[in-house]
Structure 1
Amino acid sequence: MQDNVIELILEIEKRPTMYIGDNSIFCLKAFLDGWHFRNPKNANNSQMLVEFTGWLQKKYDIGTYNVSWDKILFFFYKDEKLALNKFFLDFNQFLQDKSRP
């Protein structure tokens, strides 16, 4: 199993149902939470999801509410599968934005 959340998400993106069972934003959230809490000290880059949540809050201009990324995406897309697809698009954009100087 991956110890880096970025690498793990990029692997899940290739075959979501192999990892999370259903094309659902909430299944992804549950999987990533379980991945993190299995061994928090070895969960490299796990803070990325907190940063991603902040990035989504700015992108969707919703302020800084205490709401996780899965709920933000589901709120805007009203469909678990569509929200999951949008997660991967947005997460990749987030990584691109983060890598720019």
Structure 2
Amino acid sequence: MMNLCTLLQKIKENPVMYIDKPSITCLDFFVAGYLGQLSDLGATPEGYPMEGFDEWMQEIAETNLIKSWARIILFLFPGERNAFYKFFELFEKFIEQKDNSKIQESEDILRLRQDLWFPQFDIYNEIPSNIKKRPGMYLGTNSITRLDMLLRGYSLARREVGVPPTEPEREFEGFQSWIEEKYGINSGQSWSKIILFYSVDEHDALHKFFELFEEYLNRNKSLEIDENCG
């Protein structure tokens, strides 16, 4: 399992591979999904590199407002791409200033507590229920791109820890090919980009996603019933 600094370096070198494009917002939600799932799996970060970064950025911006590091950087350095690359410059300075005793660059950065493995929470199970009802609670705003990045970070964390995919996660894996077939597209674009292309904006695309995902789930249930009857 790679540590966070290694992952961030890989994202910097090849942002398209992980988050589609150099975007501070995409990076923010990808990292949130990644770290959030590691925590839920019982991985307790001790002195992990991002700890204290929000507060450090608030000092840099000379503000007492409680804002995320991503929002502060985007405010100071307008433009998603510009802010994305500025993040790495700032994060490097932050790491240099941080107490070396609190930085661990090895696999020991995360200690797995076996008693907390395989928790009940499954974000893929939350999509048709809680995320659909309260997208702002999970995404901050109605954005299909943010949802996509959150799921990517979440899934990467699970793969690295070696947790097998849940049934809802396995079912979601087929959503990409279903969307490509539905729209007649085989361009290698992600499901979120395809839906966004056929939508007015991020808000509309997220609304369409929930409709399409429900249609996809119902279609799978119908196929299961047909197979059982056959």
TM over 0.5: yes
- Does the alignment pair 1:51 with 2:174? yes
Match of 1:17 in 2: 136
Q: 1:65 to 1:48 in 2, by over 3 A?
A: farther
Q: 1:90 to 1:46 in 2, by over 3 A?
A: same
> Offset of 1:35 from its aligned partner?
1.8
Identical amino acids, percent of aligned pairs: 34
CA–CA distance in structure 1, aligned partners of residues 133 and 217 of structure 2: 17
| Amino acid across the alignment from 1:19 | Y
1:36-83 deviations in Å (ceiling 9; x for gaps):
122232441323333111111111122x33111100001111410000
1:8 to 112, 123, 126: 126
1:31 to 135, 143, 150: 150
> Offset of 1:33 from its aligned partner?
1.2
Structure-1-length-normalised TM-score: 0.85
Match of 1:76 in 2: 198
1:3-60 deviations in Å (ceiling 9; x for gaps):
361x121221110010111100111111111221222324413233331111111111
Structure-2-length-normalised TM-score: 0.40
Question: How do residues 58-97 of structure 1 correspond to structure 2 at under 5 angstroms?
Answer: 58-62=181-185, 64-97=186-219
Q: Give structure 1 stretches of 5+ with no counterpart.
A: none
CA–CA distance in structure 1, aligned partners of residues 135 and 157 of structure 2: 20
CA–CA distance in structure 2, aligned partners of residues 84 and 3 of structure 1: 20
Q: 1:43 to 1:22 in 2, by over 3 A?
A: farther
| Amino acid across the alignment from 2:158 | N
Q: Give structure 2 stretches of 5+ with no counterpart.
A: 1-39, 41-120
CA–CA distance in structure 2, aligned partners of residues 56 and 90 of structure 1: 8
| Amino acid across the alignment from 2:175 | F
Aligned alpha-carbon RMSD (Å): 1.7
| Amino acid across the alignment from 2:220 | K
Match of 2:14 in 1: none
User: Which structure has the bigger radius of gyration?
Assistant: 2
| Amino acid across the alignment from 1:68 | S
CA–CA distance in structure 1, aligned partners of residues 123 and 165 of structure 2: 6
